[in-house]
Amino acid sequence: MPRRRVSAGPGWAMQHLTRRQWGWAGYFLSRVSARPTRCILSVKWVLRSRWVRAMHVSCLSKKSAIPLEAPPIEGGWHAVDAIDALAKLGSAHSGLSHAEAEQRLATGGPNVLPHPNRVGPLAIFLRQFASPLIYLLVFAGVLSLAIGDRWDALFIFGVLLSNALVGSYQEFKADAGARALRDLVPQVARVRRDGMIQEIPAVEVVAGDIVELESGMKVTADLRLVDTHGLHIDESSLTGESMPVLKDAALVLDAETVAGDRRNIAHAGTIVVEGRGSGVVAATGGATLLAGIGSMLSDSARSAVETPLVRRMARLARRIALATVSLILVLALLLALQGEGWRDIVLLAIALAVAAIPEGLPIAVTVALSAAASRMADRNVIVRALPAVEGLGSCTLIATDKTGTLTLNRLTVNRVMLPDGTAVNRDQWLDGSRRKILAEIGSAAAICNEAHLTDTGSPVGDAVDIALLDLAHETGNDPEELLGIERLAIVPYEPVAKFAAVEADLPDGSRLVVKGAPETVLAMCSDLPDDALELAEQIARDGYRVLVLADARSSCSSGPISSRLHGLRLLGFVGLSDPLRFGVVEAIAKCREAGISVRMITGDHPTTALAIARQLGLEERDEHVITGSDLARLQEGSQSFIEAVGKAEIFARIEPAQKLAIVTALQRSGHIVAVTGDGVNDGPALHAADIGVAMGKGGTDVARAASDLVIADDNFATILAGIEEGRVTFLNIRKIVIFMLATGLAEILMFIAALSAGLPMPLTPVQLLWLNLVTNGLQDVTLGFGKGEGDELRQVPRSKLSALIDRDALVLMLPGTLVMTLVAVWMMAEHLAAGESVDEARNAVLFLVVIFQNAFLLSVRNLHLPFWRWHPPENGWLFAGLSMALLLHLAAQQLPLTQHLLGVSPIGIDVAMQSLAAALAVLLATEAAKWWLGRRAPAPANGTLLME
């Protein structure tokens, strides 16, 4: 087909150029007006250039994807007859003409999914400064510049810049879910134009086109099918239905029919696995069901609930900022009433802001999360968003997809029922006296089979036939040999007939094998047991798809197969299902032990979903199963809707929009929700959940891009490892916060006590920054490398509102903090009374606080066990950080540059001994608080302090 030409003229420019594009156009127009003779050829070249053509397509893509003459009809295209659909779409079986297709493309736009708006790097960088603590530090930095303290300002702005760079790096891993959706639309489509079949780029498909479908093809747009011949389409990634869906163009369905049951519609992005057919395009681009999921994904991305850690950190930041501002205002007012100069008041405000704000907290938390992410990667959990590391440990409920998550998404024969009613499971194929009859059933399954083997031995064909080949191999047969047997006659499977038959040429005669639906094949058999149909129903009730195998042997072929389909011998009933993943039953049981509820959300039929739930050990009562139709009768977001969702354990026949509503309802019930999934239909729910967990191997790009975590081995059981690491991470972050706030609080109390006693400020702003960012910073990050206490999965989940700092944490912090304050003020007064300068007194206090930090770190590394039971191999980084902080400060006392910058000098032996004695007092005070907390609320066996 020749390339479509784009006409470009003033009318087109006025209609399609955006404001930014008009900036370029205006430049050229101005050049034309100035020098028309020289520029006319340049303008003509520009208007015909590839850039303008691409711009034209880009502009068209922003318009509605359905032409004005073919609007969506009331009730949906599945609710009208195929002939009526053709008429309403202005099409015919011969397809559109080229001219009509060109017109519709110009009117309705190309068949592309809407492009999501991306946040630029500058916006991401500036967003890192949106925090109350950052505002305070910016204000302190500006005040420092105003009064001429350039070194203070340099330190403060350096801290702000480093924090912003770390945060920006994390946010650059922004979600690409909506962009990944476009990859599901194929590049080429086979359409009927002017009565001829031809291939065109998928972007040029328009409403009214007749699209041809064959096995292996992806569907290019939403089609109202007009012709089908054994057409089976895999919709698992879109609707969650695990089995390929048999399509029937002749059906006219109710308007309320959910997407998973619309058997006369082929949706964009799905795959044809068997048969052939054709359909008229009813929706393209942004009007397809696939794009609808994309828009939900974009909306949920904008409104997604933040992770529990982010909420807790934000709450902590607001409280620190409010307390700091209040304290500064009170002290500034008191100093002003006492007649202090404005410069001294400003210096105090800067010092208090620096002391109160834990500048290194964002970096320390990031390091803790990164260390946990590394440990998770070793356990097959890939972290896409660092806050999700801790969030998974906080979850109280896992809403999991079935297909591809709990199951393998691979059809398998798991049970065979013999004519005498004996049920044989897969692990018993080769056992005992049934081995011969099972081998015979397996050989029949390979003979009546339309699959084939590739050069590498991999089976290719329908999912049922591939499963039957596996059965043949597992029962001791050679599939390659059986497939190589000459076929004397074949009756291929047709949905209307509901059976297939093959006559094979064997050395001792011929063998006629029939497979199909129980009600069809059993009617062809003789000498049936009385309960034959009941046996088939029994397997179906257990969640299996049932096929019947029967055969007949003769010395030679005698006439057409159709005349011999009677008097067959029943071989047995074959039960096919999507098998459970290894270890998933045990994982669900352990989730319950950990206080985590598991809910299953699937597009499967309720009977199938309930059967799988029973295998998984989930709730088995029918009243705990709710369907998409049940939810559709309730108002989304209403109290009755939330209550219905809260009671249900299993959700069946659920549409993508309903999955998102279910997650939202569970969150409104107070749950911290982790959602697992692998399909396109899971994308919005994954994004809206507190924690989205996608499958790495079998998952779609959409699911992975919409998630916070990716399970590399697609094993639900791996989520448990992530939950354990998440709970360890919360404990580590809690220790970091306790350590930083305790040392910061001690610094503030030192200022208040010193000023109350009429002493100068005990430390300068630069010295405070040195403590908070360097010596403190080298130590607090090491707490993030802790590996847990061992019983994390036996503890109940934390509530959504549980704080990082609560009453027990304050009890742990205050004794050591008070000792630090009293000793520091005493030392300041003693050195000044001895005739030393203010700088010399501050030098001694600064060293004292560094030693305080060392001692407090040793105590809070475990929130229950005493510090003397510390084993360095458990967290060797902690000992290294402690030593490095002390050595770094000792070095700073010796180097001229840091001596001048910090106002420090080498200390005497008396100061060192006083500091060590005071550090021991801090250690004993903190250990006494731990002992008292342990007596008041006994800790678990492993010694973890539960501070909730």
Contact 381, 300 (CB under 8 A): no
- 860 touches 926 (CB < 8 A): yes
Amino acid, res. 27: Y
Greatest pairwise CA separation for the chain in angstroms: 122
List Cβ neighbours of 73 (8 Å cut-off, separation of 6 or more). 79, 80, 88
- End-to-end CA distance of the chain: give it in Å, rounded: 69
Distance CA 610, CA 597 (A): 17
For 4-43, letters b (16+ CB in 10 Å) and e give: eeeebeeeeeeebbeeebeeebeeeeeeeeeeeeebeeeb
Of 252, 261, 258, 257, the C-alpha closest to 226 is: 252
Tokens 């390929």 belong to residue = 244
d(CA 157, CA 163): 10
E runs forming strands in 885-941: none
The SS3 assignment for 516 reads strand
Residue 117 DSSP class: P
**Cα separation, 825 vs 845, whole angstroms:** 8
**Paired tokens of 401:** 């997809």
Length of the chain: 948
Catalytic residues: 401
Comparing C-alpha atoms, which of 403, 398, 409, 410 is closest to residue 676? 398
- What is the token pair recorded at 660? 């998102």
Question: How buried is 440 (Cβ within 10 angstroms: 0-12 exposed, 13-18 middle, 19+ buried)?
Answer: middle
Alpha-carbon 215 to chain mean position = 31
- Residue type, position 491, single letter: V
Sign of the C-alpha dihedral, residues 682, 687, 688, 692? positive
User: In what helix (H) or strand (E) does residue 53 lie, and over which residues does it extend?
Assistant: helix 50-61
Assigned token pair, 108 = 């309705």
Neighbours of 169 (CB within 10 A): 11
Q: Which residues contact 452 (CB under 8 A, 6 or more apart)?
A: 459, 460, 461, 483
CB atoms within 10 A of CB 87: 12
Cα–Cα distance measured from residue 882 to residue 886, given in angstroms and rounded to the nearest whole number: 7
Q: Is 342 helix (H, G, I), strand (E, B) or coil?
A: helix
Name residue 401's beta-bridge partners: 601
Instruction: Output phi, psi for 569, to 5 deg.
Output: -95, 125
> E strands of 699-751, at which residues?
709-711
